[in-house]
Chain A
Amino acid sequence: AQSVAQPEDQVNVAEGNPLTVKCTYSVSGNPYLFWYVQYPNRGLQFLLKYITGDNLVKGSYGFEAEFNKSQTSFHLKKPSALVSDSALYFCAVRGLGTNAGKSTFGDGTTLTVKP
């Protein structure tokens, strides 16, 4: 079975400071990892993904994520947070075989960026 953990329900940062939203995963074989952002009463917007290759993945809106195989982590980062980054962030994993079609999501982390 595949699973994702987002250990922090909430992350608070000041505008201009770096931010990190944590994600760890469990999956058989090579993982396919994704980050999505959800604004209130909206659907999920794709930010970035890791399939293979460089461990540092760059995505939309200045976000990046670092894949760490030994720690089974895929933390989302941004060097300088904006107030408009305040939203709900989801990490997701897709595996192989019978789990290939479905994404398993973490419970989400609410990011609040204060001016």
Chain B
Amino acid sequence: NAGVMQNPRHLVRRRGQEARLRCSPMKGHSHVYWYRQLPEEGLKFMVYLQKENIIDESGMPKERFSAEFPKEGPSILRIQQVVRGDSAAYFCASSPPGQRYDTQYFGPGTRLTVL
């Protein structure tokens, strides 16, 4: 059973470009979470999604950031017009349906560098 997959693992963008980060949850998991880890800091919650629904986006910046989890395909975290402060590791986690308190299993992360 493959774990949570994220791609790309490393992404370099220039200021003003768009970054698209993809996350495929573990097989059978229908809950997806995105977290951001700034250098030397812990993980900060961004958004919680189920298929075709955003459940909690209280951690998402109000502008330039969006997330989706379509019926088919991976979850996408999209950052428009990136700035240097967006440089961070972005982690996706997934958990199975039914129990919102189940363990979240993390992917290897996408390390975004904005030049």
Q: Which residues of A contact B (CB under 8 A)?
A: 32, 34, 36, 41-46, 49, 51, 90, 94, 98, 100-108
How many A-B pairs have beta carbons closer than 8 Å: the answer is: 60
**Which residue, of A44, A102, A106, A108, has the highest number of chain B Cβ atoms within 10 A?**
A102
CB-based closest 3 A-B pairs: A101-B48, A102-B45, A44-B106
CB pair A102–B91 under 8 Å, yes or no, is: no
A98 partner residues in chain B, CB cutoff 8 A:
56, 58
**Which residue, of B31, B101, B105, has the highest number of chain A Cβ atoms within 10 A?**
B101
A34 to B59: give the CA distance in the assembly, Å.
20
Question: What are 17 inter-chain pairs, A to B, with CB distance below 8 A?
Answer: A42-B108, A43-B4, A43-B91, A43-B108, A43-B109, A44-B91, A46-B104, A98-B58, A100-B101, A101-B31, A101-B100, A103-B35, A103-B93, A103-B104, A104-B45, A105-B43, A106-B42
A34 to B6: give the CA distance in the assembly, Å.
22
Among residues of A, the one whose C-beta sits closest to the C-beta of B3 is A43
CB of B106 to closest CB in A, whole Å:
4
Among residues of B, the one whose C-beta sits closest to the C-beta of A101 is B48
B63 close to A (CB within 8 Å): no
Q: A44-B91, A51-B101 are in contact. Are A105 and B42 (CB under 8 A)?
A: yes
B72 close to A (CB within 8 Å): no
CB of B88 to closest CB in A, whole Å:
13
CB pair A107–B41 under 8 Å, yes or no, is: yes
B107 partner residues in chain A, CB cutoff 8 A:
43
CB pair A102–B101 under 8 Å, yes or no, is: no
A51 to B6: give the CA distance in the assembly, Å.
28
A105 to B41: give the CA distance in the assembly, Å.
10
B55 close to A (CB within 8 Å): yes
Q: A94-B101, A100-B101, A101-B48 are in contact. Are A43 and B43 (CB under 8 A)?
A: no
A105 partner residues in chain B, CB cutoff 8 A:
35, 42-44
B104 partner residues in chain A, CB cutoff 8 A:
34, 46, 103
Known: A42-B108, A90-B43. 9 other contacts (CB 8 A): A32-B101, A43-B4, A44-B91, A45-B106, A98-B56, A101-B33, A101-B56, A102-B48, A106-B42
CB of B108 to closest CB in A, whole Å:
4
